[in-house]
Chain A
Amino acid sequence: MYEVTMPKLSLTMETGKIIRWLKKEGDKVEKGEPILEIETEKVTVEVEAPASGILHKILAKEGEEVPIQKTIAIIKEPGEEIPEETVVEAKREVTVPTAEKPVERVKASPLAKKLAKEYGIDLTKIKGTGPGGRILKEDVLRAVEEAKAAAAVTVTPTPPTPTPSVEKAKIVPLTGIRKTIGKRMAQSLQTAPQLTITMEVDMGEVVKLREQVVSETEKKLSLRVTYTDIIVMAVAKALKEFPFMNSRLEEDKLKLLEEVNVGVATAIEDGLVVPVVKNADKKSLVEISSNIRSLVEKARQGKLSIEDVSGGTFTVTNLGMYGVDVFTPIINPPESAILGVGRIVEKPVVKDGQIVIRPITILSLTFDHRVTDGAQAAVFLQRIKELLEKPFLLFI
């Protein structure tokens, strides 16, 4: 028994259409003799018998589209008995759609391809209306509109049907801390109308102060006081003077908190934690500094206790060491504000009519607009600026 299969005549050929059988069942055929005509997307060709014998069974009718390499006829040797099941089996194979379809080359204009990528449209799923079925810009834009319309209809509580993604991606399940950060940040932005104001601060005096403090504390206490420590101290003092910034909004009441507990956002390997300096307004610089050092150390080792990270009333987040100047930090709920600290960088500034080079940092204050307004927040930020530009005020 010999099977006649749909030949693959070109690299891109996937199916062939049976135009005409030149032999009928029961006819004698010679190897190499044309027995049928097929049509591909390019040409019409004759298919030759793969072997001599009798055309036993025709399994694909004229006009039928048949995938390549599928059996379309059976040739038997004279006298050979072929069980009906074999024929049926072969025939079924013909009609069963092939599982692994060769990758289709999509005809689309470069612009259509670019737009499809931008909008995440699968080009194999849309019909081109250009010459030769080429997908054009307008075809992609139509698909985008249709997808939008479809999305609008399916906004219901039922879980969305999974759509096949066009992008290959490594799946990273969100667990533990990432999930918590995501939830809390989303909750913060969804509930609080937040805005960020920024202000430049001349850090010259702080730089000097820190050098002097470090030269004392490094040897005696093996403690290197950081800029963050000094900023936390300034923030704590300012918070005491501006209680609405040290507050918690509960429904229609604003709770002005007695304690000033300043959280310090700390990057750890898999996320971010905010250990809290309790009663920062009552602590000396050295106390704040050593408190933060031990909290950061614990954070890096994953040893922070619930106590260490709760009770915060305000957060300071410093991205200066990563070269960031200005950013829009998100409030750490249920607090009412957060201060972002940029890098300290030497800049030319005008002082008393002269251009001088000063170490400048930019502070970014995000606050909850339900709690206060831009003008009051600006006065608070000005006070922090003043405390940093005249740091002796911290000790009065």
Chain B
Amino acid sequence: MAKKTIAYIDAIREALREEMARDPKVIIMGEDVGLGQGAFTVTKGLYQEFGKDRVIDTPISEESIIGACVGLAMAGFRPVAEIMFNPFMALVMDPLINHAACYRYVSGGQVKVPMVIRTLVCQGRGAGHDHAPFYASWFMHIPCLRVIVPSTPYDAKGLLKTAIRDDYPCIFYEHIDFYPRKPNLGEIPEEEYLIPFGEADIKREGSDVTVVAILTGVKASLSAAEKLEKEEGISVEVIDPRTLAPLDKQTILNSVKKTGRLVVVETDFKTAGVGAEIAAMVVEEALEYLDAPVKRVATKDIPISFTNEKYILPDEQAIVKAVKELVLK
């Protein structure tokens, strides 16, 4: 199969363009997504290619963007909304949680709400409390929502295409660290491909401890794993679930059954976060395979300010420390 190299940001745009070309019901809505090309140029050129009726610039009103998407989706469209920064998701909770997530089930399947919300985690840039936080656990908690967290160009393209074709509301997370082209190149097939939801990717095989990591945590875990292997002789298995809902429990459980130890790495707040859910699931389903407590490496439970990120966000060092605490005595 022929391969090509692509940057993360271009992989997302390619997924959007392919799906829009394939299906006239796919439309884009958001602040500055059209003439403005998207705040970070993700949607660059799509307005010119598909026109103002399919790439719609909206007022600065997140609730109305998502409310409109819910209606469009129920009427047969497949809207892809852009919510510029993840904390703005707080503004869309009513249409998303109380309506979009529930309608298919409570209508007995009479309506579907196929929509995607692309949103950005803007951590590590001093962007502050209303731009930087990552609230994935809010949406993992709600039945019938999809929560997608791609960490490579390959995953981003394949999962976004699947999300657009999926009949449930999907929250699609992008991370600001993935936008610069040079450090975020990856190989993808020339041909069209899709990645099914609920299939974790084992990024590195190991035997002493399982590290489940998402988004920027994946790269940090891989370099921590390399360091631990070299300096301590600890063999770390790194798993990227790629979608948090649905979650590929089996791959995680199989790994923990092999290693007996689990660390979950994420940049959501620690309490009742992504790691809490994965830890509880493993304790519930594989307690007798654990040889040590489960560790959560996550953001400290403190509001993110313009200056405190380097103190509260987890980094490679925190992962190394957590693994050592579990493996060394």
Q: Which A residues fall within an 8 A CB radius of B?
A: 109-114, 129-131, 136-137
Contact between A110 and B329 (Cβ–Cβ < 8 Å)? no
Total interface residues on B, using CB and 8 Å? 8
> A130 → chain B, closest Cβ, in Å?
6
Contact between B291 and A112 (Cβ–Cβ < 8 Å)? yes
Q: Which residue of B lies closest to A128 (CB)?
A: B329
**Chain A to chain B contacts (Cβ below 8 Å), 7 pairs:** A109-B260, A109-B292, A110-B289, A111-B291, A114-B289, A136-B291, A137-B260
Task: Give the chain B neighbours of A112 by CB distance below 8 A.
Answer: 291
Task: Give the chain A neighbours of B190 by CB distance below 8 A.
Answer: none
> B151 → chain A, closest Cβ, in Å?
30
**Bound complex: CA A113 to CA B288 (Å):** 8
Task: Give the chain B neighbours of A113 by CB distance below 8 A.
Answer: 288
**Bound complex: CA A109 to CA B283 (Å):** 12
Task: Give the chain A neighbours of B97 by CB distance below 8 A.
Answer: none
Main secondary structure of the interface of A (DSSP, over half): helix
Contact between A111 and B329 (Cβ–Cβ < 8 Å)? no
Q: Which residue of A lies closest to B260 (CB)?
A: A111
**Bound complex: CA A113 to CA B291 (Å):** 9
Binary flags per residue of B204-236, CB closer than 8 Å to A gives 1, else 0: 000000000000000000000000000000000
Q: Which residue of B lies closest to A113 (CB)?
A: B288
**Bound complex: CA A114 to CA B260 (Å):** 12
**Bound complex: CA A110 to CA B287 (Å):** 6
Q: Is B142 an interface residue (CB 8 A)?
A: no
Q: Is B290 an interface residue (CB 8 A)?
A: yes
Contact between B329 and A131 (Cβ–Cβ < 8 Å)? yes
Binary flags per residue of B294-319, CB closer than 8 Å to A gives 1, else 0: 00000000000000000000000000
**Bound complex: CA A130 to CA B326 (Å):** 9
Contact between A137 and B291 (Cβ–Cβ < 8 Å)? yes
Contact between B288 and A129 (Cβ–Cβ < 8 Å)? no
Main secondary structure of the interface of B (DSSP, over half): loop
Binary flags per residue of B267-299, CB closer than 8 Å to A gives 1, else 0: 000000000000000000001111110000000
Task: Give the chain B neighbours of A130 by CB distance below 8 A.
Answer: 292, 329
Closest 4 CB pairs of A and B: A114-B288, A111-B291, A109-B291, A137-B291
Contact between B329 and A109 (Cβ–Cβ < 8 Å)? no
**Bound complex: CA A114 to CA B287 (Å):** 10
Q: Which residue of A lies closest to B256 (CB)?
A: A111
> Looking at B290, B291, B329, which has the most chain A CB atoms within 10 Å of its CB?
B291
Q: Which residue of B lies closest to A138 (CB)?
A: B291
Task: Give the chain A neighbours of B260 by CB distance below 8 A.
Answer: 109, 111, 137
> A69 → chain B, closest Cβ, in Å?
34
Binary flags per residue of B43-75, CB closer than 8 Å to A gives 1, else 0: 000000000000000000000000000000000
Task: Give the chain B neighbours of A129 by CB distance below 8 A.
Answer: 329
> A232 → chain B, closest Cβ, in Å?
50
Q: Which residue of B lies closest to A134 (CB)?
A: B292
> B225 → chain A, closest Cβ, in Å?
21
Q: Which residue of A lies closest to B290 (CB)?
A: A110
> B235 → chain A, closest Cβ, in Å?
15
**Bound complex: CA A130 to CA B291 (Å):** 10
**Bound complex: CA A303 to CA B292 (Å):** 62
**Bound complex: CA A136 to CA B288 (Å):** 12
**Bound complex: CA A111 to CA B329 (Å):** 17
Task: Give the chain B neighbours of A136 by CB distance below 8 A.
Answer: 291-292
Q: Which residue of B lies closest to A135 (CB)?
A: B291
Given A110-B290, A111-B291, A112-B291, 17 other A-B contacts at CB below 8 A?
A109-B260, A109-B291, A109-B292, A110-B287, A110-B288, A110-B289, A111-B288, A111-B289, A111-B290, A113-B288, A114-B288, A114-B289, A129-B329, A130-B329, A131-B329, A136-B291, A137-B291
> B271 → chain A, closest Cβ, in Å?
23
Q: Which residue of A lies closest to B325 (CB)?
A: A131
> A140 → chain B, closest Cβ, in Å?
10
> B121 → chain A, closest Cβ, in Å?
34
**Bound complex: CA A171 to CA B260 (Å):** 37
**Bound complex: CA A113 to CA B260 (Å):** 13
Q: Which residue of B lies closest to A140 (CB)?
A: B291
**Bound complex: CA A111 to CA B287 (Å):** 7
Task: Give the chain A neighbours of B288 by CB distance below 8 A.
Answer: 110-111, 113-114
**Bound complex: CA A395 to CA B329 (Å):** 80
> B198 → chain A, closest Cβ, in Å?
27
**Bound complex: CA A207 to CA B260 (Å):** 57
> A269 → chain B, closest Cβ, in Å?
39
**Bound complex: CA A112 to CA B291 (Å):** 7
Task: Give the chain A neighbours of B290 by CB distance below 8 A.
Answer: 109-111
Binary flags per residue of B101-123, CB closer than 8 Å to A gives 1, else 0: 00000000000000000000000
**Bound complex: CA A111 to CA B289 (Å):** 5
Task: Give the chain A neighbours of B291 by CB distance below 8 A.
Answer: 109-112, 136-137
Task: Give the chain B neighbours of A131 by CB distance below 8 A.
Answer: 329
Q: Which residue of B lies closest to A111 (CB)?
A: B291
Task: Give the chain B neighbours of A111 by CB distance below 8 A.
Answer: 260, 288-291
> B255 → chain A, closest Cβ, in Å?
14
> B63 → chain A, closest Cβ, in Å?
46
> A138 → chain B, closest Cβ, in Å?
8
Task: Give the chain A neighbours of B292 by CB distance below 8 A.
Answer: 109, 130, 136
Q: Which residue of A lies closest to B287 (CB)?
A: A110
**Bound complex: CA A110 to CA B292 (Å):** 8
**Bound complex: CA A136 to CA B292 (Å):** 8
**Bound complex: CA A298 to CA B185 (Å):** 86
> A96 → chain B, closest Cβ, in Å?
36
> A142 → chain B, closest Cβ, in Å?
14
Task: Give the chain B neighbours of A110 by CB distance below 8 A.
Answer: 287-291
Task: Give the chain B neighbours of A137 by CB distance below 8 A.
Answer: 260, 291
**Bound complex: CA A130 to CA B293 (Å):** 11
> B200 → chain A, closest Cβ, in Å?
22
Task: Give the chain A neighbours of B287 by CB distance below 8 A.
Answer: 110
